[in-house]
Structure 1
Amino acid sequence: MRLLMLGGTGFVGRCVVEDALARGWAVTLLHRGHRPAPAGAQVIVGDRTATDGLAALRTGDWDLAVDTWAGAPSAVRDAARLLRDRVGHYTYVSSRSVYAYPPPAGLDETGPVVDGSADDGGDVPYARTKRGGELAALAAFGDRVLLARAGLILGPYEDVGRLPWWLHRVARGGDVPAPGPPDLPLQYVDARDLAAWLLDAAAAGLSGPCNVVSRPGHTTIGELLAACVRVTGSAARLRWVDPAAVAAAGVAPWTELPVWLPPGELHDALHRGDVSRALSAGLRCRPVAETVADTWTWLASVDHRPALRTDLPPLGLGAAQEAALLAAAEAADQPPPPVAAVG
């Protein structure tokens, strides 16, 4: 197979390139040249946001193209238009954020989506950005495009820093506030499993929208954090905090407590989606212990901070917030005061 990767030096794109090279595919990679590309790929340097930034792609033919772009939909539009007669199949890595909020638990690919435009610039909400990218790809490739609607993505090369934050915090040891309940289910996908599925699905000609995360309940927040303790060899002690106590402390889910969302509407939207189509098309998700261990190994081998995305809010707890959550955990551990005898 001849693969054109638009991007390919960070996180999901890098995993796609490494997987394709391991299959013996011929990989051409277009990127801006800010980070080294995986060895073995043919590299084309170009900035798709710049005037004439796609000039190097005016010639060439490929069986497949994969596009992980998360910026202006107009950049997807321009690339897809340029490539539609010279690429057999186009995969756009989208997001389950395109569904109209709130998406109910169990929603499949037929659910209503937000408005979007292929002509949008970059200054639009993320959900509209991804929907605009979908429309751009569809306009150019029609039934030759796969819209891979991913959810939470974890694993080595993570450039958001959610799992890395937990691993670094647990590695420091001591009492670690853990948002509960421990059996709260999580639905995510390891970037390497996503990459393998993208290539398999594209090679098979799969088209249309597809939710691509693990089955609901693939793991739990308790299993994830316990794996962090094991792989770091830390003496950290997880102190479980009730969701109500998290809210009372003014701590924000998802950003200040990465990965975690309390039970309710938003948790259902992110962690209880229907993924039957992806599973039937061969999606296989490795155990959470493997994802956590491999991410820790990667973190120990690199300084990942320069690669972190700067377009997202900073992650993690401040000292005062952590103290407030640990105080709540301590209070929950105390027995209730004795009831005074009457009469």
Structure 2
Amino acid sequence: MRLLVLGGTEFAGRAVVEAALGRGWEVTVLNRGRHAVAFRGAPPGAPSPAGVRTLRGDRTAPGGLDALASGEWDAVVDTWSAAPRAVDDAARLLADRVGRYVYVSSCSVYAWAPPPGYDEDAPVVEGASPDADKTDYARDKRGGELAALGAFGAERSVFARAGLILGPYENIGRLPWWLGRIARGGPVLAPGPRELALQYVDVRDLAEWLLGSVERELSGAYNLISPQGHATTGSLLDACVRVAGGPGVELRWTPAEAVLEAGIEPWTQLPVWVPAGSDGYDALHSADVSRAVATGLSCRPVEETVADTWRWLRDIGGSAPQRPDRPAVGLDPAVEAKVLGLPFVA
């Protein structure tokens, strides 16, 4: 297989490149060259591993796609999440020379708030346009879908509507924050209940499904997160304690009501967590993923995701990269201490 990856050096794109190399595919990446990444299997200091052809281009700039003026590929994987017109430009340029457009979209494209158990036929946001400038995340992702659909048609487009993505290379900071907090030790504010079901996808499992969608010649939209019950808040944080627990670490399970009364923001100040029964919980952790599972989605245990993320963090010195276009996550230690009724020592 000949694969084109638009990006390919950060988080999902990097995982896709590594998964494709693992399958023996020929990989071409187009990016701006701002991130020096040692892909798995590359010799030390190598700019690109064997099997990867690197092209330079900034898809937001005039002429930024010139490097793609020639060449043919079986599929392109695109993780773009800003102005849809960038997807539109790429899709139209490649439509006659690429077999399938695989776009990493988001469950955010569904009209708010999707009901519990929503599937791929749920209503999507209105007002999205394939040639729009940057608007908001939901309409930008839906606009990207429409761009791929307009150029490649329904039979040659795949929309992987991902939810929460975790795993090595994470540049949002959610699981890295929990691991870092637990590594500091002491009492840790753990938002209850511990049995609250979570849905997420390990970035490597997402990558494998994306490549499988090319091999299976799939088309259409798929909710790409784990089945409900695959993990819980308790199993996630317990796994963090096992691999990274610092001195005297103790999960202090706290009712959701107490967390909210303290003014703590779910999802951002306490990453991953949103209270049960809220619109946010239904949107993030209650999707029907049976279509993805039926077409090859396999989710590794939460313990493996956590352990491998912690290993990666230690390998890079403990500080995870942070996307500049996403807000920082995490809870102020003083706020945590106050909720737990403990003295705060700076």
TM-score of the aligned structures, taking structure 2 as reference length? 0.93
Aligned counterparts, 1:171-190, within 5 A: 171-190=183-202
Partner of 1:9: 9
* Number of residue pairs aligned between Structure 1 and Structure 2: 327
Alpha-carbon distance in 2 for matches of 1:303, 1:64 = 35
Q: 1:203, 1:261 → 2: CA distance?
A: 36
Q: Does 1:247 align with 2:266?
A: no
Cα pair 1:89 1:141 within 8 Å, conserved: yes
Q: Which residue of 1 aligns with 2:280?
A: 266
What amino acid maps onto 1:83 in structure 2? L
Aligned residues of 1:64 and 1:202 also touching (Cα < 8 A): yes
**Aligned residue number for residue 102 of structure 2:** 91
Q: Structure 2: how far apart are the matches of 1:227 and 1:193?
A: 19
Structure 1: segments with no counterpart, 5+ residues: 329-343
Measure how far apart 1:280 and its partner are.
Answer: 0.3
Q: Is the 8 A contact 1:64 1:203 kept in 2?
A: no
In structure 2, the partner of 1:282 is 296
Q: Does 1:81 align with 2:99?
A: no
- What is the aligned counterpart of 2:54 among 29, 43, 66? 43
User: Could you tell me whether the CA contact under 8 Å between 1:179 and 1:246 is conserved in 2?
Assistant: yes
2:336 corresponding residue in structure 1: 322
State the alpha-carbon separation in 2 of the partners of residues 71 and 32 from structure 1: 16
Shift of 1:319: 2.4
- Residue pairs, 1:216-231, within 5 angstroms: 216-231=228-243
Q: Following the alignment from structure 1 to structure 2, what is the Cα–Cα distance between the partners of residues 58 and 203?
A: 25
The letter of the residue matching 1:301 is: D
Question: What letter matches 2:16 in structure 1?
Answer: V
How far the C-alpha of 1:284 sits from its partner, in A, is 0.2
The CA distance in 2 between the partners of 1:160 and 1:233, in whole Å, is 21
- With 136-145 and 297-306 compared, the bigger mean Cα shift is at 297-306
C-alpha deviation, 1:324, in angstroms: 2.3
Mapped to 2, the partners of 1:233 and 1:181 lie a distance apart of 20
* Residue aligned with 1:71, SS: coil
Q: Give the Å deviation of 1:313.
A: 1.8
Question: Where in structure 2 are there 5+ consecutive unaligned residues?
Answer: 40-48
Q: Is the 8 A contact 1:155 1:191 kept in 2?
A: yes
**Secondary structure of the structure 2 residue equivalent to 1:295:** helix
Contact 2:233 2:273 in 1 (8 A): yes
Other-structure match for 2:26: 26
Taking the TM superposition and a 5 Å limit, the aligned residue runs for 1:74-223 are 74-115=85-126, 116-122=128-134, 124-142=135-153, 143-223=155-235
Give the partner amino acid of 2:340. Answer: L
Specify the SS of the correspondent of 1:307: coil
Deviates more, 1:265-274 or 1:154-163: 265-274
Q: Quote the offset at 1:304 in angstroms.
A: 6.7
SS of the aligned residue for 1:139 comes to helix
CA drift at 1:306? 7.0
Partners of 2:328 and 2:2 in 1: how far apart?
A: 38
Which is greater in Rg?
1
Rounded Cα–Cα distance in structure 1 between residues aligned with 2:320 and 2:290: 37
Query: Once superposed, which parts of structure 1, at least 4 consecutive aligned residues long, lie more than 2 Å away?
Result: 303-307
**TM-score for both structures, normalised by structure 1:** 0.93
Distance 2:338 2:265 in 1: 13
In structure 2, distance between residues paired with 1:249 and 1:185: 23
- C-alpha distance in 1 between matches for 2:312 and 2:333: 27
After superposition, the C-alpha distances for 1:186-239 in whole angstroms (9 at most, x for unaligned) are 000000000001001122110011111100121100110010000014331000
Amino acid at match of 2:137: Y
Letter in 2 for 1:236: V
1:341 corresponding residue in structure 2: none
Is the Cα contact below 8 Å between 1:8 and 1:31 reproduced in 2?
yes
User: Structure 1 residues 30, 304: CA separation in 2 closer, same or farther (over 3 Å shift)?
Assistant: farther
RMSD over aligned Cα, in angstroms?
1.2
8 A contact 1:213–1:275 mirrored in 2 = yes
